[in-house]
Chain A
Amino acid sequence: MVQTLKLVFSNHFYIVLSVVIFTFMLIGLLVLSEYIFLDPYIVGHISQGTEFGFVLIVILSILSALVIPMNVYRINILKKSKGKIGGSVFSSFIGSVAGACSCGPIGFAVISTFGSVGATTLAFLTNFELPIRIGAIALLAFTYYATVKSLKIECKVS
């Protein structure tokens, strides 16, 4: 597993890609889920009872930052199918959407635009925020495992 990671991240492009994905996902999700506030002051805050949600966001960001560059590597270097990157991007997206609290401006905009359909969708995403995130993490973990396995075979990593 370590050899596979070394193989991919020996190229600086994939390190930069990984850092960019991690930073954008982490900061974006922390802002959306109101762990970071930007206005009127930049301040971070984990309120009581929301610690588990914070940990899930960190795990989701780390996994996305690992899995997406590895699959980009598979496509660029090995010219393999795009199926796995589709799965990893989908998992990251679903995990992120679950974090967009319906109380916030995004929720308000969706409900204002789509009415009761938007409200029902957002209520679902809010009610099942943690299970959806856990599901997205499980899917990313599986994609990570499958990608490492296939890279081992395709690149003949010992």
Chain B
Amino acid sequence: MNKKGILVGIVISIVIISVIVAYSSSVETENFDVRAHGMISTTMGSSILGNPSAQITIVEFGDYQCHQCYNWFHNTKPTVFQNYVDTGKANFVFMDLAFLGRDSPIAAQASYCAEDQEKYWDYHNQLYTAQESQVDNGWANSERLKAFAFGLGLDMELFDDCLDSGKYAKRVQYNIAEAKKLGANGTPTFFIVGPDGQQQKLVGAQPYSVFKQVLDSMI
């Protein structure tokens, strides 16, 4: 009888543990939308901008304090988007290679705090619009990052809690590690991932003509 009781107890324990494990793993799966483009794990990057089922994905590794990223954002990105992203031929993912200064990772974390309130891309655009030419001169410090969030009408209590707690510090670190793994050693670095998973790496704020040649060769 005692042996039977122990056996039943073990079985019940196993069932309870299995249920807990199954539940916790389902929570993890809900939190992380596992995603990859070619060889790149974009799970921790931005959401996909543009047609999610587009044949081509442009993955940018950038830093919010990088002046060349600013140049690309203002000079080349509009034409690339107009001809490829807005037309559904390609989509776009931004990932952080935040290495330039002490404010770079904080700015990247702030962008994900804005994502919590579905304002990632507005915040991203705000940072590249407000960027100043000097690294770590205070334009992207914690106070200014909160001011940008306020300007976009975000819930400041949620945003402040998120930024001050370093909620997304590991996410940004993961993206930096992913960049290093892929051999991205400068910003901006782009990976154009084609329909068959083939990848073309573009280093620097290259002009539209280069993007056009690469993208057209993949369509």
What residues of chain A have their CB less than 8 Å away from a CB belonging to chain B? Answer: 34, 37, 39-41, 43, 45, 47-50, 101-105, 107-109, 111-112, 119, 122-123, 126-127
Contacts and interface: CB of A to CB of B under 8 A. Distances in A.
Interface of B: 63, 66-69, 71, 74-76, 99-102, 133-137, 185-188, 200, 202-207, 209-210, 213-214
Contact of B186 (A108, A126, A127): A108
Contacts of A108: 99, 185-186
Given A41-B213, A108-B185, A103 B66 contact: yes
A47 B205 contact: yes
Contacts of B68: 34, 101, 103-104
A43 B202 CA distance: 12
9 contacts: A34-B68, A37-B203, A40-B210, A43-B209, A48-B71, A103-B187, A105-B186, A111-B99, A123-B135
Main secondary structure of the interface of B (DSSP, over half): loop
Given A34-B204, A45-B206, A127-B134, A103 B69 contact: yes
A34 B187 CA distance: 11
Given A119-B101, A123-B100, A101 B67 contact: yes
What are the 4 A-B residue pairs with the smallest beta carbon separation, nearest first?
A45-B207, A127-B134, A108-B185, A103-B66
Nearest to B137: A127
Given A40-B214, A41-B210, A127-B134, A105 B74 contact: no
Given A37-B206, A41-B213, A43-B207, A50 B71 contact: yes
A120 B101 CA distance: 8
Nearest to B213: A41
A123 B187 CA distance: 14
A112 to B, nearest CB: 8
Contacts of B71: 47-50
B60 to A, nearest CB: 13
Given A34-B68, A123-B135, A105 B203 contact: yes
Given A123-B135, A126-B135, A105 B206 contact: no
